[in-house]
Chain A
Amino acid sequence: METFFFMIVAAVAVLASILVITCKNPINSALSLILTFFCLATLYVTLDAPFMAAIQVLVYAGAIMVLIVFVIMLLNVRTESGRRSSHSVLFGSLIGLFSLFQLFYLFNRSSLTGQKGAIDSALINKVGHTELIGKALYTDFLLPFEVTSILLLVAIIGAVVLTKKKI
């Protein structure tokens, strides 16, 4: 049953991501991308990461995609004309398929090693996923977390400076 569910969600995710790169209209691409994000959020729930699924829906499907759709509508982007060169499609697909085969080869040949940690689904159900994430974030990763806030501040200032006519 779980495998069946995974297969359905994975198929929808792959189909939606193919639609993202084949749709002529950017709005349709954006809507397909939102569907892909929702499928990935579903997979995060099956992987015992409900907090990450919530963040995925809130930040990616909520904030980032709203910004992208807003810009598409603001710029009134027309659909792509047909003067796309077939060379770029051919070589792009070849490079993408080559990287796909390379990744498959890597997964089949290598075995996954690493130290097992203490966190399993029983502990996550008992303590709560958000609490575990918060503890790790505010103890071991406190400095990167603070640097993140500086990154966001710089991004805000950069966006304002780039879109302003006269500074």
Chain B
Amino acid sequence: MVSLHSYLILSAILFSIGTIGVLIRRNAIVIFMCVEMMLNSVNLTFIALSKHLGNVDGQIFVFFVMTVAAAEAAVGLALMIAFYKNRESIDVEDIKLMRL
């Protein structure tokens, strides 16, 4: 029997790797994929706790997180295409129009 703590620790590791990826990568699409990974680790926490507590509500929230991720994918990738049309690059260091 795998304990709840194993699932929570795996989810913490995945979340931290996602955080590191968001902070160190410069390619906007890879940053985007790291955000998806963080959302997935939170989903794992939801489902593990849902089983631990014997309650199905956590899994409903996983459903909503997935919907938000899908909407985010559509809008985020459209933004990247719009930026690429103007700058020929999706490097986040080139996104500096509003920088002081």
**In the docked arrangement, what's the CA distance between A95 and B20, Å?**
7
Measured between beta carbons, the chain A residues less than 8 angstroms from B43 are: 40, 52, 56
Q: Are A117 and B12 neighbours in the complex by a CB distance under 8 Å? A: no
With a cutoff of 8 Å between Cβ atoms, the chain A residues found around residue B75 in the complex are 155, 158-159, 162
Interface residues of chain B: helix, strand, loop or mixed (majority): helix
How far, in whole Å, are A2 and B7 apart by their CA atoms in the complex? 13
Please state if A115 and B23 are interface contacts (CB–CB under 8 Å): no
Q: Is the CB of B78 within 8 A of A162?
A: yes
- Taking CB atoms, residues of chain A closer than 8 Å to B67 are 148, 151-152
Contact mask for chain A residues 61-76; partner B; CB cutoff 8 A; 1 contact, 0 none: 0011001100110110
Q: Which residues of A contact B30 (CB under 8 A)?
A: 20-21, 26, 29
Q: Are B24 and A92 in contact (CB under 8 A)?
A: yes
Residues of chain B within 8 A (CB-CB) of A140 are 57, 60
The one of A20, A30, A107, A159 that contacts B21, using a Cβ cutoff of 8 Å? A20
Question: Digit string of B67-89 for contact with A (CB within 8 Å is 1, else 0)?
Answer: 11111111101111110100000
> Hey, which chain B residues are within 8 Å of A14, CB to CB?
10, 13-14, 17
**B68 CB → nearest A CB, Å:** 7
Known A77-B27, A116-B53: A93·B60 in contact at CB below 8 Å? no
How many residues of chain B have a CB within 8 Å of chain A?
Answer: 69
- Closest residue to B72 on the A side, CB-wise? A155
The 3 tightest CB contacts between A and B, nearest first, are A92-B23, A117-B55, A96-B20
List 20 A–B pairs whose Cβ atoms lie within 8 Å, in order of A's numbering: A13-B10, A20-B21, A20-B37, A29-B33, A40-B40, A47-B7, A47-B47, A60-B36, A67-B77, A89-B24, A92-B20, A103-B15, A103-B16, A116-B54, A119-B56, A137-B63, A144-B64, A155-B74, A159-B74, A159-B75
Known: A20-B37, A116-B55; 8 extra A-B contacts, CB below 8 A, are: A49-B59, A80-B26, A103-B16, A107-B9, A136-B57, A136-B60, A151-B68, A154-B71
Q: Which residues of B contact A (CB under 8 A)?
A: 1-2, 4-10, 12-27, 29-30, 32-34, 36-37, 40, 43-44, 47-57, 59-60, 62-64, 66-75, 77-82, 84, 90
Query: Chain A interface (Cβ within 8 Å of chain B)?
Result: 2-3, 6, 10, 13-14, 17-18, 20-21, 26, 29-30, 33, 36-37, 40, 43-44, 46-49, 51-52, 55-56, 59-60, 63-64, 67-68, 71-72, 74-75, 77, 80, 84, 88-89, 91-93, 95-97, 99-100, 103-104, 107, 112, 114-120, 132-133, 136-137, 140-141, 144, 148, 151-152, 154-156, 158-160, 162-163
